[in-house]
A and B are shown apart, each in its own frame.
Chain A
Amino acid sequence: GNSVTQMEGPVTLSEEAFLTINCTYTATGYPSLFWYVQYPGEGLQLLLKATKADDKGSNKGFEATYRKETTSFHLEKGSVQVSDSAVYFCALSDQGTGGFKTIFGAGTRLFVKA
């Protein structure tokens, strides 16, 4: 079945450092890929998405490119801020027998120090 694997955290960075959070997936079809962010005590917010191979999703300085050949969707940001501290979830959405479902990775907690 479909699955999402992302790097374990926590990831601790200093402000203005470069961020990469790795995400790989397995899917039988052609899924859409997402990154969601969860701030403490809150629900999930969509950060960015890509719906087909070679698409690049971007938002708030974050980017991720849908790489079909490596089945990856790594999240990157050139210069992180303290306010980026949160948990980041990689996810895929694909249509199965039960309709569209979203499968989440385990989440990666990011701490950014001033």
Chain B
Amino acid sequence: GAVVSQHPSRVICKSGTSVKIECRSLDFQATTMFWYRQFPKQSLMLMATSNEGSKATYEQGVEKDKFLINHASLTLSTLTVTSAHPEDSSFYICSARDPGYYGYTFGSGTRLTVV
């Protein structure tokens, strides 16, 4: 089946630095990928839709200058958390639509801790 690889799985960074998270579709092409954020013991909140070759579409309330998304190829989307602060600490998960069915394949997630 379709596989989405997300890297890194865990990252700790200092306040004020930037962190890049990669999401790759390994055996299929994904023109659209999605980035979610999950707070402890809560559900996933869609942050943005990443479109290959064009600008990402951000959900209401998500700062696009804070969370930079780049989808430069059909198999790679990146999320960069710029000037990270402790309140950005969260679990970030990407997903891509599996072309085989009406469902989505998720990456394994990235636990970001800003200290």
Contact = CB atoms under 8 A, between A and B. Distances in A.
Interface in B9-52: 32, 34, 41-44, 46, 49
Interface size class of A (residues with CB under 8 A): 20 to 34
Contacts of A44: 44, 93, 95, 106
23 contacts: A32-B103, A41-B111, A43-B93, A44-B44, A44-B95, A45-B106, A46-B105, A46-B106, A49-B101, A49-B103, A51-B102, A89-B44, A93-B102, A93-B103, A93-B104, A98-B57, A100-B32, A100-B102, A101-B34, A101-B49, A103-B46, A104-B44, A106-B42
Interface of B: 6, 32, 34, 41-44, 46, 49, 57, 93, 95, 97, 101-109, 111
Nearest to A4: B43
10 A-B pairs with least C-beta separation: A43-B109, A43-B108, A32-B102, A44-B106, A106-B43, A43-B106, A104-B43, A104-B44, A107-B43, A43-B93
Contacts of A41: 111
A51 B102 CA distance: 7
Contacts of A42: 108-109
A41 B93 CA distance: 12
A58 interface: no
Nearest to A45: B106
Contacts, number: 56
Q: Which of A44, A46, A51 has the most CB of B within 10 A?
A: A44
Contacts of B106: 36, 43-46
Contacts of A107: 41-43
Contacts of A43: 6, 93, 106-109
Interface of A: 32, 34, 36, 41-46, 49, 51, 89, 93, 98-107, 109
Nearest to A87: B41
A51 B103 CA distance: 9
A41 B111 CA distance: 8
Nearest to B2: A46
Contacts of B104: 46, 93, 102
